[in-house]
Structure 1
Amino acid sequence: DAVIVTGKMTGDPPSVEDVKLAKEIAGDMPVLIGSGLNPDNAEKLLRYADGAIVGTYFKINGIAQNPVDPERVRRLMSVVKRLRSS
């Protein structure tokens, strides 16, 4: 079980304020980013979240119907690994 915080639509990240509020209210329940996580916003969002569900960002050109783009996976996961190790 987890609390999932999303933006207004697929690919749209939640606001930092929404993630912070969810974390405050959720208590011991994990809080996950449910949309819009990318290398540019990962640091500010994952500061307050326990993890993320990533789909569209990992696809070629960020289009949901396309196959997974290994370079996009590497790019985001290198940021996540750096954040989690610091």
Structure 2
Amino acid sequence: MLDSCERKGYRAVSEYIQVVRPAKLVFTFKMLQFSDNLDTLTIEFHPVKNGCEMTFKQVIGVLHEEGWSEEDIKKVEKEYPDGSEYS
């Protein structure tokens, strides 16, 4: 990946989990420089007149520590995306 503003390259690691031609791709995504978190991305392709529409879904994997309660985990999972940058 290339940050066009800073002309800086980053390494992303991915693994395909599911490939359903021509309708769906599911794969993992990790940016090693920033986090050990592993996200799962799903892209669905829907035919429309003169092309297709794509639906993107990203499940952000939030690491947690041993001994955390379900409430602690849910709180962090809810707060984590709020700290991410969207463009």
> Given the two structures, how large is their TM-score scaled by the length of structure 2?
0.30
Bigger helix share:
1
Larger Rg: 2
TM-score (norm 1): 0.30
